[in-house]
């Protein structure tokens, strides 16, 4: 892979607020960020679009990409439910002169950090508690109770990996978490945060 800009990873248990934080950072022009779209073999939900939310592919297509070594990282999150980062996606964004931001699961995030230790900032977003996580996932009403319980079980395992990340943001108060994330990323990419008008 050709070297390019910086890599910024946000990982967290489902429902911790990492996607909200990543969207906020993408709206800050001085950070020069572009979002890495993951590939997945899971079916689309709601109004999701191919090439916008994810690159949707069949299980067999996904497995072919694994065999061909096309992924920077990939994981079978649940049975036949694959997620991964295509090398071509990161190269495409680097070619545009961008720093690449990821919203990916814990093991994928740590794999990228290991591959590019010097140019990666890996941030773990910590929810207030596992109970709060359960409330947030239920509020979404996108998944069955069984799925939610699977996510909660996975969250306990993921929380144990937090110390392996460069930084941990505790998302108890969203505004504070957004500010903290903005400062961390600005420092890492060497950007000046514009002063807020009073």
- Asked whether residue 1 is domain-assigned, the answer is no
> Alpha-carbon distance 86 to 51, whole Å?
12
Please give the DSSP secondary-structure letter assigned to residue 130: H
Per-residue pLDDT tens digits of the chain, which is 198 residues long: 667 899 999 999 888 889 999 999 999 999 999 999 999 999 998 899 999 999 999 999 999 999 999 999 999 987 899 999 999 999 999 999 999 999 998 999 999 999 999 999 999 999 888 888 888 888 877 778 888 888 888 888 899 999 999 999 999 999 999 999 999 999 999 999 888 765
148 is a domain residue: yes
> Is 85 a known ligand-binding residue?
no
Residue 197 is assigned to a structural domain of this protein: no
How many domains does the structure of the chain reveal?
Answer: 1
The answer to whether 11 is annotated as binding is no
What's the rounded Cα separation, in Å, for the pair 188 and 46?
Answer: 35
The residue segments making up the domain with residue 129 are: 7-189
In a domain, 196, yes or no: no
Rounded CA gap, 78 and 171, in Å?
26
Which CATH number does the domain housing residue 76 bear? Answer: 3.40.50.300
Residue recorded with tokens 């190269």: 91
CA dihedral 128, 132, 152, 26 (to 10 degrees): -60
Q: Is 14 annotated as a binding residue?
A: yes
Residue 107 assigned as binding residue: no
């Amino acid at each position: 892979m050709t070297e390019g800009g910086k890599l910024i990873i946000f990982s967290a248990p489902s429902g911790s607020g990492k996607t909200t934080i990543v969207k906020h950072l993408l709206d800050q022009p001085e950070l020069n960020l572009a979002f890495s779209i993951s590939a997945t073999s899971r079916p689309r939900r709601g109004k999701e679009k191919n090439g916008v939310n994810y690159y949707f592919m069949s299980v067999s297509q996904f497995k072919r990409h694994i065999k061909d070594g096309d992924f920077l990282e990939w994981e079978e999150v649940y049975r036949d439910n694959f997620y991964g980062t295509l090398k071509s996606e990161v190269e495409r964004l680097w070619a545009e002169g961008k720093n690449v931001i990821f919203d990916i699961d814990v093991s994928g995030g740590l794999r990228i950090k290991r591959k590019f230790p010097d140019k990666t900032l890996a941030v773990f977003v910590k929810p207030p508690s596992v109970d709060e996580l359960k409330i947030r996932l239920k509020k979404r009403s996108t998944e069955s109770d069984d799925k939610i319980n699977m996510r909660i079980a996975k969250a306990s395992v993921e929380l144990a990996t937090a110390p392996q990340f460069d930084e941990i943001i505790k998302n108890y108060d969203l505004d504070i978490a957004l500010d903290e994330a903005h400062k961390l990323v600005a420092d890492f990419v060497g950007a000046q945060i514009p002063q807020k008008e009073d």
